[in-house]
Amino acid sequence: MIRSMDYRSLGPTGMQVSPLCLGAMMFGAIGEPDHETCIRIIHRALDGGINFIDTADVYSQGESEIIVGQALAGRRDDVILATKFHGQMNSPGDERRDPNQQGNSRRWIVQEVENSLRRLGTDWIDLYQVHRPDVDTDDEETLSALTELQRQGKIRAFGSSTYPAHAVVQAQWTAESRGLSRFVSEQPPYSILVRGIEADLLPVAQQYGLGVLPWSPLAGGWLSGAYRKGQQPPPSTRAARIPARYDMSTADNQRKLDATEALAVLAESAGLSLIHLALAFTLQHPAVTSPIIGPRTMQHLESQLGAADVQLSSDVLDRIDEIVPPGVTISSIDHSYTPPSIANPWLRRRRTA
């Protein structure tokens, strides 16, 4: 049970959130398709002291938002509700795919916020987040649209997700120089195996007073205890969607397996589950507000709830630093965002005749 005294401020907003945030990505077709099961999981999380729920329009193409809205009927006032926009909302195989039903443009934001409000069954969203950067849209375009939605009362605050540190700074500067409201939070990938943001993003977030809501604190299941040497990896819908992250033949994933094995031994010696060790690690970083847990089953949720009460000793934290040094992300694929300057070779090569 999470105690009310343990709640944390969400950046500069004054909103108080639980130290664990319930992520709803696995509710719907890509995870647990049974709505009643998902609703029971959400209610158990709320009864366990979690008052913060994060979803996104693209999670099962709106189905996750619908499920969350159903679960919050009669309990909406007790919850800090976050969702996100940016991703393509048409099926990739749909011939009618509309290139404007995605991105960070004013056109899409003012349309999609209404869709999310309808699916969630609510009049307002507490935290509306830009799911990914969009190099085709100017920051001022995005921030001005979000500022207007805030003034209209449709959203209370807004934040970013998976923004590199320089993009966070740029957005803060744009807001200040144009007299617009600013991002109050950032949602980056962060876990013991994915520590790259410790070098730049987390210090930047602290400098600007942003709430930090790490996603995938269990490294996509790698830190759940299910991935051990000499054991067959369990079947996983996530592995089916992103096979490169779980291909045990790659050098990076072998290094992740070595680290996971050492961390499992450390957790056992500390009298903890690997799950609690991993979540407590993210919780103890002074920049972090609320890591996002993403259970698919009730068992997953129960295994994670108690982590908010765990405090790791300096000796344990020092040993974690030996296994995965600060600022190191073992596998580049775990960054989950590749800027165009890296993805497109013609942005880093002079064209010759």
The encoded tokens of residue 23 equal: 């992520």
CB contact at 8 A, 215 and 292:
yes
CB contact at 8 A, 12 and 154:
no
- Strands 185-187 vs 8-9: parallel, antiparallel or unpaired: unpaired
Phi-psi domain of 60 (left: phi exceeds 0; alpha: psi -120 through 50; beta: other): left
The span from the CA of 172 to the CA of 40, in Å, is 39
Closest among 189, 185, 162 to 172, alpha carbons compared: 185
- Identify the active-site residue in 7, 59, 128, 227: 59
The span from the CA of 284 to the CA of 278, in Å, is 10
227 carries an active-site annotation: no
How many CB atoms neighbour CB 344 within 10 A?
12
Contacts of 210 (CB under 8 A, 6+ apart): 11, 159, 168, 183, 184, 185, 186
The residues that are catalytic are: 59
